[in-house]
Amino acid sequence: MRSHDDVRHVVILGGGSAGWLTAALLAREHHAGEPGGLAVTLIESPNVPAIGVGEGTWPSMRDTLRRIGLSETVLFRECDASFKQGSHFQGWMRGASASDGDHYRHPFTLPLGFGDVDLVAGWLQRHGDRPFAEVVSAQPHVCAAGHAPKQAATPEYAAVANYGYHFDAVKFGLQLRSHAVANLHVRHIADDVTQVLSHDDGDIAALRTRAHGDIEGDLFIDCSGMASVLIGQHFGISMRSCRHLLFNDTALALQVPYATPDAPIACETIATAQPAGWTWDIGLPTRRGVGLVYSSAHVSHDEAERQLRAHASRTGAQGELAAPRRIAFEPGWRERFWHRNCVAVGLSAGFVEPLEASALALVEMSAAMISNEMPATRDEMALVERRFNDAFTYRWERVVDFLKLHYVLSRRDDTGYWRDHRDRASLPDRLAELLALWRHRAPYRNDFARVEEVFPAASYQYVLLGMGFVPEPSTRARHASVGDAAEPYFRETAHLARRMLGALPLQRSLIAHIRAHGMPRA
């Protein structure tokens, strides 16, 4: 019976960051190329270019790259990488400039003392006239000064301040491919798939290719991007739209050169609110990645491009810029991600929007769960399928909650886009309930029930308080002892910030050192 067949061969359709990251993790952790190991084959069309826009990661990427054995020095030398320490939001509260105080930061480092004392109540008592993030974390000070999150002597993947990456997504995918094929025994087939072949029970049996014949497998992973060849086209698993909650459906992307070769490299993704969307600004060593994500129901494509070019000029772009790439998307995710012997990872599973860089993080989570729960037999696959679908339905819903938080708290009233985002009909029910609770207390861990939440309670605190949503503290929270308990953490944070600013190099100088000399191996 097929139900008792061992799962011995995984076939991945599609390359890019999603395909190659998944292939590398499965091959590394399931001993591809060794006797009894899992065989991993990746089929990649030579005629389909990578999207290549997802240039930001979370700190989790450090653990993922360490798991697959990729050198961090190689990442910086080959992928035009820089350090990312969080996000800097400008103009989201009132539509004013950062110089007018309309800005806040969401750093990657947890507040010092988070979970030990009520930092929010203590901040309101003692330092409510200062930005919350700057009182509870040293990282905003490090980012504002343009410093890197580690020193030249810090080993690969170790950190002084928590960090992820910015990088060239196309170069990243190519580097993952090189590593997976050369070092992890992933079989790479450059070919077009012409047909999906099925067993009698409906499972996928093989992918027919133009030049390499039929590629049989036991588990098929759909990393074919928005085309979603397997989970969407073949199995017909529909999308669950969230356009009624998050309106953006189009992105424009530019590559902008620096005015001078020694220009500072931003340590954060800079997200600037616009009349019908927001711009991202990502600093790489050789260029900036600048783009606008917007709602085509609220602004025309021509006007959106004009706004993007104006923003690029205001932020230092010089000379004639190339025409931006336009990428349309339907915000949402699959009704099911794992169906029979097929699982979707990356854009084939869904896409909401690039705010807070959740796309690659969801790829990492997907690849990790597939690897951790790799079914031994076809019988077990149905059990893993249910667990996977439950986990990722929850995760996509939490991503929407967190992203919506940035919009619903805005007080901007200059366009219908921002007014529509505050309409109760566009607010997820779970988020509405939490906002009601948070009127009188800050988010804390018990608000989020899963062990592996997508965004921790601390991230909600950074955004809520950064956007000016300040709770009215209870009588208990106003007691002087609350401020007394929190104050030592605030003093230690200020001391840590001074030490870091004195010891950490500038971002560009550290990257130059890494490219020339590498990093110490852990």
Handedness of CA 513, 515, 516, 519 (dihedral sign): positive
Is 95 annotated as belonging to a binding site? no
Quote the CA–CA distance of 400 and 97 in Å, as a whole number.
26
Tell me if 410 is assigned to a ligand binding site.
Answer: no
* 16 has binding-site annotation: yes
Q: Do the beta carbons of residue 87 and residue 182 sit within 8 Å?
A: no
Catalytic choice (84, 150, 171, 404): 84
Residues 337-348, buried b or exposed e (16+ Cβ, 10 A)? bbbbbbbbbbbb
Does 113 count as an annotated binding residue?
no
Q: Is 18 annotated as a binding residue?
A: yes
Token pair of 248 as six digits: 């953006």
Q: Give 93's strand partners.
A: none
Q: Which tokens hold the place of 304? A: 């959106």
**Please, is 4 exposed, middle or buried when counting C-beta atoms within 10 Å of its C-beta (0-12, 13-18, 19+)?**
exposed
Distances in Å between the Cα of 239 and the Cα atoms of 27, 332, 382, 495 are: 30, 6, 21, 50
Is 25 marked within a binding site?
A: no
Length in residues, the chain = 522
- Any known ligand binding at 216? no
Nearest of 186, 136, 106 to residue 357 by alpha carbon = 106
Q: Does the annotation count 171 as an active-site position?
A: no
User: Has 193 been labeled as part of a binding site?
Assistant: yes
Q: In sequence order, what DSSP letters do the residues of 439-495 get, joined into one string?
A: TSS---GGGS-SSS-SS-HHHHHHHHHHTT------TGGGSHHHHHHHHHHHHHHHH
Known binding residues are 15-18, 84, 193, 347, 356
Known binding residues for L-tryptophan are 356
Q: Which residues participate in catalysis according to the annotation?
A: 84
Known binding residues for FAD are 15-18, 193, 347
Known binding residues for 7-chloro-L-tryptophan are 84
